[in-house]
Amino acid sequence: MKPTIVIITGLSGSGKTVALRALEDSGFFCVDNLPVTLINLFVSRLPKKGNITKIGVGIDIREQAFLSSMNSALRLLKKKYRTEIVFLKAEKGVLVRRFKETRRPHPLSSGSNDIDPVIEKEKDMLQPLKKEADRIIDTSSYTPHQLRHLITTLYSSNTRKSNAMSLTFMSFGYKFGVPQNVDLLFDVRFIPNPNFVPELKELRGIDPPVKKFIFEKPQTKEFIKRLKGLLDFLIPLYIKEGKAYLTVGIGCTGGRHRSPAITEKIAALIKKHPVEISAIHRDL
């Protein structure tokens, strides 16, 4: 059985260490800072009858000496193995804040406190690698816990079909920012808010009383019907196009009541399609 290789790369400070550890928790044999040109040699030396079938590799700007030969090495890997490249990024202001909070230097900095120029330099240097990515995740609004949950949701399944599209439904709260890595985005703030019902305020959208309140509303029933119809139309087209990942974002004000309830409901209804379905509640 050919191993699956997931390469975690991206901008410094975007969460690559967290993502790689999440892969390790998901059953991957992980190696950090391995030059991409040596991955093929590394995999070929693994025991043929061993139990290492999932490999995670962390790559960052410290491998700049190998960047020039990276594209050809990646093409070779994708021909020989099932290889996925996950590129993590974040907004410049978020990256600057993270470096200040952790008090660690940027890999490209030379002692200067101004890291804005080196962030831009790193973006330019990693652009070719970003173009090769199968999935780009903006971690600007993610906590380490949320990023870990996202990675484990995507890669922890032992039964994932090799050719199945990964369909992720993500609930979120607009007041915490819109997720940057969604393909389809739906706003459910038109549904009456359980937050203003005293006995429901402290509950969550996955709790039965809240779900009963939300799904008894006529506008909710009509929305679910129309959204399911749209997804039933779109999913086969995305599969035909060869899309590997589809993320559907469903947002309400705080991400606690309406969007989690709708996310759970619609995820349960999209079962007939040959996709791997997962649900993430970013702000619950």
116-132, pLDDT tens digit by residue?
A: 888 998 898 888 888 88
Domain co-membership, 15 together with 63: yes
Cα 58 from Cα 77, distance rounded (Å): 15
Q: Which of 155, 180, 211 is the last residue of a domain?
A: 155
Q: What is the model's pLDDT at position 196?
A: 95
Q: Is residue 273 assigned to a domain?
A: yes
In terms of pLDDT, which residue wins out, 115 or 204? Answer: 204
Question: Taking 80 as the threshold, does the pLDDT of residue 36 lie above it?
Answer: no
Question: Taking 70 as the threshold, does the pLDDT of residue 162 lie above it?
Answer: no
Domain co-membership, 148 together with 179: no
Residue 157 pLDDT level (bands cut at 50, 70, 90): low
Question: Taking 70 as the threshold, does the pLDDT of residue 48 lie above it?
Answer: no
Question: Taking 50 as the threshold, does the pLDDT of residue 200 lie above it?
Answer: yes
Q: What is the model's pLDDT at position 111?
A: 65
Question: What's 2's DSSP letter?
Answer: P
Question: Cα–Cα–Cα angle for 272, 274, 277, nearest 5°?
Answer: 85
Q: What is the model's pLDDT at position 100?
A: 82
Domain co-membership, 141 together with 172: no
Domain co-membership, 98 together with 203: no
Domain co-membership, 65 together with 141: yes
Q: Is residue 160 assigned to a domain?
A: no
The total of structural domains in the chain comes to: 2
Say if residues 128 and 64 touch (Cβ distance below 8 Å): no
In terms of pLDDT, which residue wins out, 155 or 184? Answer: 184
Q: Is residue 192 assigned to a domain?
A: yes
Q: How many CB atoms lie within 10 A of CB 146?
A: 20
Domain co-membership, 25 together with 146: yes
Q: Which two tokens stand for residue 121?
A: 């330099």
Residue 193 pLDDT level (bands cut at 50, 70, 90): very high
Q: What is the CA radius of gyration of the chain?
A: 21
Could you list the residue range(s) of the whole structural domain that residue 48 is in?
4-155
In terms of pLDDT, which residue wins out, 102 or 30? Answer: 30
Q: Is residue 109 assigned to a domain?
A: yes
Q: What is the model's pLDDT at position 158?
A: 47
Q: What is the model's pLDDT at position 277?
A: 86
Q: What is the model's pLDDT at position 159?
A: 42
Q: Is residue 232 assigned to a domain?
A: yes
Residue 63 pLDDT level (bands cut at 50, 70, 90): low
Q: What is the model's pLDDT at position 65?
A: 59
Q: Is residue 72 assigned to a domain?
A: yes
Looking at residues 85-114, what average pLDDT do you find?
83
Q: How many CB atoms lie within 10 A of CB 161?
A: 11
Q: Which of 87, 120, 155 is the last residue of a domain?
A: 155
Q: What is the model's pLDDT at position 150?
A: 83
Q: What is the model's pLDDT at position 112?
A: 65
Q: Would you list the DSSP string of 161-225?
A: -TTPEEEEEEEEEGGG---TT-SEEEE-TTSPPGGGSTTTTTS-TTSHHHHHHHHTSHHHHHHHH
Cα 70 from Cα 77, distance rounded (Å): 11
The count of C-alpha atoms lying within 13 angstroms of the C-alpha of 129, restricted to the half-sphere facing its C-beta, is 28
CATH number at residue 56: 3.40.50.300
98: β partners: none
Q: Which of 155, 180, 215 is the last residue of a domain?
A: 155
Q: Which residues contact 234 (CB under 8 A, 6 or more apart)?
A: 184
In terms of pLDDT, which residue wins out, 47 or 155? Answer: 155
Domain co-membership, 135 together with 221: no
Looking at residues 46-54, what average pLDDT do you find?
74
Question: What's 37's DSSP letter?
Answer: G
Q: Is residue 35 assigned to a domain?
A: yes
Q: Is residue 179 assigned to a domain?
A: yes
CA dihedral 122, 124, 125, 126 (to 10 degrees): 80
pLDDT, one tens digit per residue, over 217-261 is 999 999 999 999 999 999 999 988 888 778 899 999 999 999 999
Domain co-membership, 18 together with 150: yes
Q: What is the amino acid identity at position 194? A: P
Domain co-membership, 172 together with 125: no
Q: Which residue has the tokens 């609930």?
A: 171
Could you tell me what percent of the chain has a pLDDT over 90?
41
Domain co-membership, 64 together with 24: yes
Question: Taking 70 as the threshold, does the pLDDT of residue 25 lie above it?
Answer: yes
Average pLDDT for the chain: 86
Q: What is the model's pLDDT at position 165?
A: 82
Question: Cα–Cα–Cα angle for 17, 22, 23, nearest 5°?
Answer: 100
